[in-house]
Structure formats: C-alpha cells, structure tokens
Chains A and B, each alone.
Chain A
C-alpha cells in the first residue's frame, strides 16, 4: 500500500501503572503492546477482541485522548506530535457504545449536536441551528427533536444524535466503539445501514471496534484481532473469515451464534481464564487457553509473520525465533 493511510499507528505501546495496594507499590500494565495498524482512507477496519484486550485504549490513543508511552500515531502520514488535541478532534470523531451515557442529559439535542461548532468556533452562531437541522436530516431524525432532551428519545434515536454530533465537523475518520451493542436488533440494523450510507455520502473512514463478529464481517474491509494488547492476526475480511489462522481467531469465530437452529451451542475449547494483564503468561500470552499449545509457546513469544496481507502472530505460522522487538515482559518505561 503506497497511499498514506488516513490513520496509522506505528509500534504503539501504552503502559499504565496499576497500584497493588498500600505499601506494595505499583506494577506496569501493558494495555497496548507494540501495535502497528493502518487504516486506509475510505475503508472500514474492524478491531475485535475480548473485553480487557486493549481495544478501547487503542480508540483513546487514536482520538488523542491518551498519549502512548512509546510509538507514534500518524494522521494522514503526519506525526501526532504536530497536532493539538483540538486539531485531532477535527479529523477524528468517536461514536460510543452506550447512547444513554454518552449524551449529556441536561442539554437539548440542538446544544449537543452543535457543541463541536461552538468549541471549534465554526461559522456564525446564527448558522448553527440551520446546520444542526441539516445534520438531523442526514441521520434521519425529524428536525423537531432539536428542542428535545436525550431522555425523551429512544435508544436508536439517541445513537443517531451521537452520530450527528460526530459528523457535524465533517471528520475524516470515525471511531465506532461498539456502536450497536446497546441497541435492539431491529434498531441495530437501522444504525448499521445508516453508517453504511454516511460512509458513501461523506467518504468516511471507519475504525469499527466490536465483539460482534457478524457485524464486523458485514461492515469491515479489513479486520484486526487483538489479544492482550497485541494484534495477533490481521487480514482482509474475506481472508480472515474464510481462512482464520490464529487459534484465538478461530475460537472467536466459533463463538458466533447465528440464528440457525439445530447447530446447538458450540464448544469453543477455550479455557475460561482470561490472563491477568498485569502478570501476563510467559511466551505466547495466549498459550494457557490455546487448544494447539506446543512446548515452544510456553517460553518464546511468537514473531509476527506475514503472508501477502495476512499477518499472524503464532508459532503455528512462521518459524520460531527471537522475540519481537517490543519485549513482552515488564520493563518500566
């Protein structure tokens, strides 16, 4: 890929110091551990993984809400260091999971949607109301809701308000963090359709963070699977869903419950114990839960291997060898 990605992370690591209690000092928690991810312009990249794997920390880093401990974020090829928080917000906007808590209950819809305009001082205040009206049209809400409050709207309507707020500054990239998880099935499909339409209309680029793989497969061109702060597999959507390689990806895909009777509940053969991220297992961090665990997995972290655009980080693929450049075990930055 020669074109500059709309958004790119280069070996980003984010370490939090977690207190172990009084007198016991603190330990580092590597929420994101050496992640390089490219989000090409006009594409939808899906990021999947269990809770606690670092997906939301990634979102915060990309939004400029969290400074990475090391590594860099590139906006259209330019380092994040050159941008202020406000400039980043002009390019990248979030849509969060829960429209019940992401909208201020004491503000009217007009005030919520026009807030980015006020903050960035765009245009004359007299035009704001008209722009809010246009935005409401775009997301399929009647203009009269402008004077309503979030509590008067349904979940689907609130999520549309959140989308209107995210798009009013015409950002390049929208980070959708579980945009439909809190919604009913019939509303979920409406929001997904709306996100598709808006992508065409405004030429948007999405990072879609979700644990619902059916949704990710439906929306994303490319998918990255995250486990304990690392991207363990990354490939084009079709490749990943047709030929999943990493045992974790296979377990994730096996856990998707599609509405097809007679199949029963799959047994994922995945141990239940999500490892403690403060004290990750040695070697491949997935090995305690892995059905295909080999001796080498317990001692050596796997090296990323790439086959065309299909990247996998697993000893089953690509030879064993020296650990990746970012060591897995805890040196304090």
Chain B
C-alpha cells in the first residue's frame, strides 16, 4: 500500500527488573496510513505509552525491544543507529507529550525552542526557522505570534503551551505524529479546542497520527481506527464506529459501561465497573490476562492462544467467546 506510513508487527518490550523480566508490551501490531488517526486506548500500565516510545526509539536503556517488522515509510527502523533515528525523530516523525509544562524547557524562549528543531533537521537559516515558527504559531491559534517568540513557557497558559508543543511537532512537516495523552492536563473547553485543532491540522497536512489516551470519549470523537490494549496486548481493534457500536471483548464492554453519559445514564444510577486490578506482568505469562477480572472467564481462558477472532472490515478481538454468543447477548443490554 502506498498510503502506509508506519507498519508494526508483533512488537514487544521487555524490561529486566529486580523480580525478573517485566513484559509491558507483548506482541502488538498496527498500521497507520496517510491522513489516518489510530487511537490506542487503555488504562495506566497497559503499555500504551511504552509502545509509542518503542516506535520513537526512546525506551529506557535497559529495555529490550523486539519486533517482526517495524517499517516507517517503507524503511526498516528496527536496527537503525541512534544517529539515524535521531534524524527521523522531530523530522518526519514527531511526538506531542502529555505535560506541556515539563516538556518545554523553562529557560529558553518559545522561539528558540521552535527554531531548534528546524535548524537541526531542515536548514541552517534562522530567518526561515523564524518564519516557519510564526506561520505555525498562527496556525495553532496563538495570537500575535511574532511577539510570542521572545516569551518563556511560564508566560503562557496550559492550553497555549500545548499549542506551542503542537506547533513544535509540526515544524519539520512530519509524516507521522504520535500524541501521548495530549489533552489530559487541560480543561474540558481547552481539550475540545486542542483536539479540534489537531484533527484539522492532520487533515490539512495529510499526516498519520497515533493518539494515545485513556479517555474513550476522545477516542470516539477523533479516531479512524481503535486499538484497545490490556496488559500489553491488543484485546480488540477495528474501525472506530464498529468498535463503539458493537464492542466484542468483555474489557471493552466493561470500560464503556463505566462512563456516565449525559442523557443516557440516569442520575445516581450505579455505573458499571471492571472489578479487580491489572495483573502483574513480571515473569512467564500465559493465557488471557483479563481472565481474573472477566465475568465470562472459564478454565479454557488460562490456555488462550493469541488467535484473534476476525469479524471482517478489520474488526478483531482476542477472546474465546464466539461472535454469536456475544452478539446474541447484546440485544437486551442495548435496549434503552
């Protein structure tokens, strides 16, 4: 496929810890095409952030990364040297982090930090870097952009800082943007604005985007494709509408029941929950890791192989329950 930007197959990350080997990411795969948004959703500790760091080559030194395939723009990036990887990072793939407060350097001006990426990756012209910075700051909705270049991060509000981060990620015209919880630290109104902006820019520049979040509301609104992660594995994936209309994995279903929806859940009504806690991922792991929290668990789940059940149009889930069983049950639950 010509539109494919990133292709990952069977990516895993292992980190040696005192108690043995930790397996935070255990064989996940996805593709991202031009102009497409992939949302990776899951709770803390499910390995979603490490997945993004693994792609960017930013894992901690002790971590080991394995993959059957990792191609970025048709180029194998598994064994790239640090120097080559650094050329890609910030250039054709860039990242937006969660905390705009800690990911901007407080002792340099905005202009300085924006220009730095450009001077490093594109060309050695301060004037060109400045023009690009002003152009992008205006693009991301920062008023009087030219005069902002001399300001320091602390002079901006949280939303403005996140806008600067987005502008910075766009400085070199990336093909792929990885946004890790880009709006978690922000107010609802600002969150909506930032997501709106990201979606618009992504359309305009035809970038691929991986958006990592724990918020299913965000996923539903911005994703083309969804990947639900649990304990380092993909438990369900598919086109956004399909996954939300007909979630198949008990974990996805459980998460959706946890969220109060204005107009749908009655006030004071008990919300659904997913009891239990995330399993320990140290040592040898086998079977479905969700079985200790699952209402449908049986002995067979301890021996589950990773064969996802495919539903067509890319929708797949990793659970022993047959599609007929899941679908047959849903009807009463969905009636209002």
Contact = CB atoms under 8 A, between A and B. Distances in A.
Q: Are A and B a genuine interacting pair, yes or no?
A: yes
B189 interface: yes
Contacts of B220: 257-261, 263
A190 B257 CA distance: 11
Given A193-B270, A257-B191, A258-B262, A265 B221 contact: yes
B240 A256 contact: no
A273 B142 CA distance: 9
B244 A260 contact: yes
Interface stretch (A67-75, A87-95, A167-175, A212-220): A212-220
For chain B, which range describes its interface: under 10, 10 to 19, 20 to 34, or 35 or more residues?
A: 35 or more
Interface in B219-240: 219-223, 240
Contacts, number: 142
Given A251-B189, A266-B196, A274-B157, A258 B240 contact: no
Contacts of B28: none
A266 B190 CA distance: 11
A97 interface: no
Contacts of B269: 218
B262 A256 contact: yes
Given A218-B271, A256-B217, A261-B244, A189 B258 contact: yes
A261 B241 contact: yes
Contacts of B199: 264-265
B60 interface: no
B230 to A, nearest CB: 11
A272 B160 contact: yes
B249 to A, nearest CB: 14
Given A189-B272, A192-B271, A260-B220, A255 B262 contact: no
Considering the complex of A and B, which 10 residue pairs feature the smallest CB-CB distances, nearest first? Answer: A257-B217, A218-B260, A189-B258, A186-B274, A189-B271, A255-B192, A184-B43, A259-B216, A259-B220, A50-B187
Given A219-B267, A260-B221, A272-B141, 10 more contacts: A51-B158, A185-B214, A186-B255, A186-B273, A189-B271, A193-B271, A213-B262, A217-B260, A256-B262, A261-B244
16 contacts: A50-B190, A185-B259, A186-B254, A186-B273, A189-B258, A190-B273, A217-B260, A219-B267, A241-B262, A255-B188, A257-B191, A257-B217, A259-B259, A260-B261, A261-B240, A265-B192
